[in-house]
Amino acid sequence: MKETTLGIIKPDAVEKKLIGKIVSKIENCSLTITDIKMVYLSTNTLDELYKEHIGKTFLPGLIEFMSSGPVVLLLLEGEDAVKNLRSICGDTNPEKALPGTIRGDFGEGLPKNAIHASDSQDSAKREIHLLFPEHQII
Ligand code: CMP
């Protein structure tokens, strides 16, 4: 089924000039970029993005890292886009991610794992609503 999903190239990967390599891997896996923008995410926006992690000990460090530099937001479309993107990203923990995946090749560790990918269609909808408000159908 054709779906839309969200990817975020994180500050570690932007700083290491990996945007092109990551975008290449994504485009080679039959996903189409329908919008792209580089932004700084505020702590308010990150609180909302990561609200499912409230109470987890890593949340403050994750928010500090994600607000430490620019990120690249990717709006992506394709067959089974949510699953497809997550599979290209690899395991959340770069130490467990397979070679060839984005996190396996470019992740440093946690939370510096190079990319975020929505974990379900519901999450994608919520995250796109938050980060690409200009794409809402009114
Ligand atoms: P992401 O796909 O953005 O979703 C939540 C993020 O939390 C995850 O990628 C990691 O960057 C971060 N994360 C998850 N588990 C841990 C952990 N144990 N320690 C630090 N950061 C983590």
Nearest-CA residue for ligand 1 atom 3 is 116
Provide the β-strand partners of residue 6.
75
Asked if the model's pLDDT at residue 62 lies above 70, the reply is yes
Contacts of 62 (CB under 8 A, 6+ apart): 46, 50, 53, 111
pLDDT in tens, 107-126: 999 999 999 999 999 999 99
Question: Of all atoms in ligand 1, which is nearest to the CA of residue 113?
Answer: 11
What are the structure tokens assigned to 122, written together?
């519901």
pLDDT score at 135: 83
- DSSP count for the chain of H helices, then E strands: 7, 4
Position 7 pLDDT exceeds 60: yes
pLDDT at 46 over 60: yes
Ligand 1 center from residue 50 Cα (angstroms): 10
* pLDDT at residue 137, rounded to an integer: 58
- CA atoms of 89 and 84, how far apart (whole Å): 9
Domain boundaries, the chain: 2-131
pTM of the model: 0.97
pLDDT tens digits, one per residue of 15-45: 999 999 999 999 999 999 999 999 999 999 9
Query: Does the domain formed by 2-131 have CATH 3.20.20.70?
Result: no
